[in-house]
Amino acid sequence: MTGAKLRLVGTDEATSHEDLEQALDPERVAAVFVPAHLDDEPGALPLGEVAAVAHDHGVPTLVDAAFLNYPPASMRRFTEEGGDLVCFSAKYCYGPNTGGFVVGRSDLVDAVAVVDFTGFESGRWAIFGRPFKLDLHTIVGTVLAVEEWIEFDHEARWRAYAELVDELAGAVEGFREFGPSLASSPWSRRSSPSRSTAWSSMWTHRRPGRPPPTSSARSRKATRASPSTAGTTR
């Protein structure tokens, strides 16, 4: 609708400081988009350097940090390193799959807020707000999920994952022929007493104040699984 085009800067191998400098014409470039999860990839310019160059040319930096929310305190680093508008997904805080939130410069946050249903109907310009219409329960769910994510005891979360893996390993011990044994998993106490936070934060989450199921209840559920199911579940 706007006529804007996405331009990739650099080559397939790398992007240099000079590549970015040459691409930033403030009369033609609306923003620089940075997928933050690629910051450490060989040949990629780090966010701090991209933002500094973009700001020198009067161009804002938009950051995709969808799942980069652990530990929670690290979520601040994207604005601290120069990101003007940072996008997070709510589902990685165990919120609604279709929810998300943005942080950053107030004028840019306000600009995002305009791109909504009422803005589509009554705004000064024709915009694409209708697809961004959110139900109230999605908004409430996103807010609550983020609040809980910030306050949650994540060390306890990691311990709960490890305990669950150990219980599942015991429940499917006899199904080794259908697939790798869970007892050999690096997340099991049986194979690695020094598990760390490498386990994905995308899995099981118990909300604060909600007691976990008892060990016997979990074990009963696990032992009712068929051999084929137990052998192929990851």
Q: Are residues 63 and 130 in the same domain?
A: yes
How big is the CA angle at 42 (ends 41 and 44), to the nearest 5 degrees? 70
- Which DSSP symbol is given to 202? T
Q: Are residues 135 and 212 in the same domain?
A: no
Q: Are residues 138 and 159 in the same domain?
A: no
pLDDT computed for residue 222 by the predictor: 33
Cα separation, 75 vs 83, in Å, equals 11
Q: Are residues 26 and 125 in the same domain?
A: yes
Domain final position from 110, 135, 151: 151
Domain final position from 113, 135, 151: 151
- Domain assignment present for residue 4? The answer is no
Backbone angles phi, psi at 13, to 5 degrees: -90, -40
Which is nearest to 97 in space by CA: 62, 66, 128, 65? 66
Count of structural domains within the chain: 2
Amino acid at site 149 = W
Q: Are residues 25 and 36 in the same domain?
A: yes
Digitized pLDDT (tens) for each residue of the chain, 234 residues in all: 567 888 999 988 899 999 999 999 888 899 999 999 998 899 999 999 999 999 999 999 999 999 999 999 999 999 999 999 999 999 999 999 989 999 999 999 988 887 765 555 666 666 665 666 778 899 999 999 999 999 999 999 999 999 999 999 888 877 655 555 555 555 555 554 444 433 333 333 333 444 444 433 333 333 333 333 333 333
Q: Are residues 100 and 161 in the same domain?
A: no
CB distance 82 to 51 below 8 Å: yes
Q: Are residues 138 and 83 in the same domain?
A: yes
The pair of structure tokens assigned to 32 is 């620089």
- Domain assignment present for residue 11? The answer is no
Q: Are residues 159 and 224 in the same domain?
A: yes
Q: Are residues 75 and 124 in the same domain?
A: yes
**Domain ranges, residue 204:** 154-232
CATH number of 145's domain: 3.40.640.10
- Domain assignment present for residue 2? The answer is no
Q: Are residues 136 and 160 in the same domain?
A: no
Q: In this structure, how many other beta carbons lie within 10 angstroms of the beta carbon of residue 125?
A: 9
Q: Are residues 21 and 134 in the same domain?
A: yes
- Domain assignment present for residue 55? The answer is yes
Cα separation, 206 vs 59, in Å, equals 42
Q: Are residues 134 and 167 in the same domain?
A: no
- Domain assignment present for residue 120? The answer is yes
Helix (H) or strand (E) holding 70: none
